[in-house]
Structure 1
Amino acid sequence: DERTFKGHSNSVRAVALTADGKRVISASADNTLKLWNLKTGKDERTFKGHSNSVRAVALTADGKRVISASDDNTLKFWNLETGEEIATFKGEAPFYCCAVAADGVTIVAGESSGRVHFLRLENV
């Protein structure tokens, strides 16, 4: 069963599947992320807040939160179900990649400058 999801206005840079395999989140050069339902093909939510291309996306193991890395020098932490921006970390250069540890609060992210940041979210 093939399906094409249309909705971004620029290139898609990264995708991640939810742990249950029912949805996918895409990161785009249109400065947004989108949450798609794999069964229906529906665009369930658009995450807006970055001011430049979103290069990477990762999901927490519990499937409740999203981390995004952008050319706007920020990492953003989002609530998957509401689209609410929970936290932002500003770096000194564009972020090209990110990952979330199994604990759901430790984030690793790589900057274009060659730095790797290890962050721990508090009170989320």
Structure 2
Amino acid sequence: MRPPPFHGFPAIDRGVTAAGGAPFDAVTAMATFKDSVEAFGDAAHDELARSGDGYKAARANMARLYRQRKSEIEKMADAFSRRPWSIPDHLAMRQVADHALSTLDAIYRDMRGALDTLHKD
């Protein structure tokens, strides 16, 4: 039996979502990595489209977005590693997190290259 909530917050290790809904299962948790990478891709694409404001500003904004999403994925992986899932689910989650980080790196590298190409003198 789990301990009762403290001051209206869910009990620790209950594994509920931020909205207080049902606990995340491993597959749903792994989908959050894809969502984070997709959100970065969309934001980087928008930044590339707005790059008329200046190369340095666009490059700095893209780098900031990249660092934020990378940190988010690393924090999610750390938090999900403490869930009461089976060993295969934990291994799969770690593999998905690693793949999300490598995909994030590839998107960032490609978007930076596209930004450099757009602003080539």
The two structures share one fold, judged by TM-score above 0.5? no
Query: If each structure's helix is expressed as a fraction of its own residues, which one has the higher value?
Result: 2
Calculate the TM-score normalised by the size of structure 1.
0.26
Relative contact order (alpha carbons < 8 A, sep ≥ 6): 1 or 2 greater? 2
